[in-house]
Amino acid sequence: MTSALRLAAFAALAAVPLSLIAPAMADVRDYEFQLVHDQLPHNEATEVSVRLVKKSTGAPVPDAVIFASRIDMAPAGMPTMRASLAAAPSADAGVYRFSTQLEMEGAWQLSLAAKVQGEEGTVVGRLILKVLP
């Protein structure tokens, strides 16, 4: 192969965007949790629903593995005031439900950590919801 031909082949390869050669992976910062309802009535038993979406497309993200969850009153200056939180079934893709008992009115923080299939890193969300009288 002549040097001119090698140079032309190298130039052609250099012009190919890297995204066409390497598999595309989104950054975990491209995902976010969103509350389905940010205000809830004060009840003995409450269900909190969140949706996990890919921000760039708005598409729901099904089958994420939520491995850490907590709900507390940190926004009201009481981070040690916690409530029980249990995963509940959901029929909607990308929507994750939790059963809890929010015994006080006011601002509550729902903290979640999840793994998204095919992505490295952890998606973390801290969502503020309000319990009404």
pLDDT for residue 59 is more than 70: yes
pLDDT computed for residue 27 by the predictor: 87
pLDDT for residue 1 is more than 70: no
pLDDT computed for residue 3 by the predictor: 53
6-46 confidence digits (pLDDT tens): 444 444 444 444 344 334 456 899 999 999 999 998 887 89
Tell me the fold of 26-132.
Immunoglobulin-like (2.60.40)
pLDDT computed for residue 90 by the predictor: 95
Looking at 1-133, which runs of residues are DSSP E strands?
31-35, 39-41, 46-54, 59-60, 65-73, 78-83, 85-88, 95-100, 106-115, 123-132
Residue 81 backbone class (left: φ over 0; alpha: ψ -120 to 50; beta: rest): beta
Taking alpha carbons only, the member of 114, 98, 101, 117 closest to residue 35 is 98
81-120 confidence digits (pLDDT tens): 999 999 999 999 999 999 999 989 999 999 999 999 999 9
Contact indicator for 110, 87 with CB cutoff of 8 Å: no
Domain ranges for the chain: 26-132
Rounded to two decimals, what is the model's pTM? 0.79
pLDDT computed for residue 18 by the predictor: 38
